[in-house]
Amino acid sequence: MTATAARPSPSPSASPAGLARRSPTGLRHAVASEWVKVRSVRSTAWTALAAGALLPVTAVFVAATGSLQPDDTVLGASLTGAALAQVAAAVFGVLAMTGEVASGTIRTTLAACPRRGTVLGAKAIVTAVVLFVPTLVGSALAHLVGSAMLAGQGYAPGDPWPALIGIAACYSVVGVLGLAVGTVVRHSTGGIVAMLALILLPQLFGPLFGDLRPWVGGAAPLAALEKLTQTSDALPEAVGTLGAWPSLAVVTAYSAAALIGSGALLARRDA
């Protein structure tokens, strides 16, 4: 009779359940993974940098050409490029999701971290931080350039602090909104077009709504940005009478709701 060698029983840590417990699927690891992706993918990294770089570049152009309104503030004139930077921030948010969907790497991401809400939350955190830093630096540089070049020309200075922080926060919020739209649409072109519509159309077509124009235009991300930059274009009849910070709070609220809704949709459908 041949003796059968006893096989060692697998340790609990080697079982599928043990591996699942040991796999780095927490929020911290997901954030670290998303940060690596942002640094690795040139399209998204350059889009974030472009959002910040547009601000001082346009500040130099506006100050050098003197293309200001008589009632403009130095801060508002310096941040004339804020709307373009907001579009860049929206594109960054869209690409943060649709870039992975297009390449198919979203399947790998969700396999490594099955908790889809954690993945989306990590993307939102990285999107907000990556947009906040360069746009805050770009806004501050734009204001310094504008103040230096427009000094002594009789324009009201405006109140840069804490408005510059709010401006950078507005870019972060719009980026997160773009992430939510990209999660729903799952197509880069469609997501970008949808974000352009959300940013630009409320004010372009606001007059068609008659007395409701301030409510329609005032709820747009561009309206909050214009109020924070203290530009002369932020007329009450176009962007409503709500203050700059309450306007930012409104945009933040529906961006958060959009992110939650997109997370629920992401959890239900196939990658």
Q: Is the pLDDT of residue 9 over 50?
A: no
The alpha carbon of residue 49 and the mean position of all alpha carbons in its chain are separated, in whole angstroms, by: 13
**pLDDT, mean of residues 47-60:** 95
20-35 pLDDT per residue, tens: 344 456 899 999 999 9
State the pLDDT at residue 15. 40
**pLDDT class of 66 with cuts at 50, 70, 90:** confident
Residues 129-147: b if buried by 16+ CB within 10 A, e if exposed: ebbbebbbbbbbbbbebbb
Q: What does the pLDDT read at residue 35?
A: 95
Q: pTM (2 decimals)?
A: 0.89
Give the helix ranges, DSSP H, for 150-242: 163-185, 188-204, 213-218, 221-229, 236-239
The per-residue pLDDT for range 126-138, each reduced to its tens digit, is 999 999 999 999 9
User: What is the rounded CA–CA span in Å between residue 91 and residue 179?
Assistant: 9
Going by pLDDT thresholds of 50, 70 and 90, the confidence category of residue 14 is very low
- Name, in order, each residue with C-beta under 8 angstroms of 258's C-beta and a sequence gap of 6 or more: 177, 180, 181
Q: Would you say residue 108 has pLDDT above 70? A: yes
Instruction: Give the pLDDT confidence of 195-222 residue by residue, as tens digits.
Output: 999 999 998 888 788 888 888 889 999 9
Q: Which residue has the tokens 């000094």?
A: 151
The residue type found at 27 is L
Residue 76 clears pLDDT 60, i.e. is over it: yes
Identify the DSSP state of 66.
T
CB 73 within 8 Å of CB 231 = yes
Which pLDDT value is given to residue 24? 52
Cβ neighbours for 147, distance < 8 A, ≥ 6 positions apart: 74, 78, 157
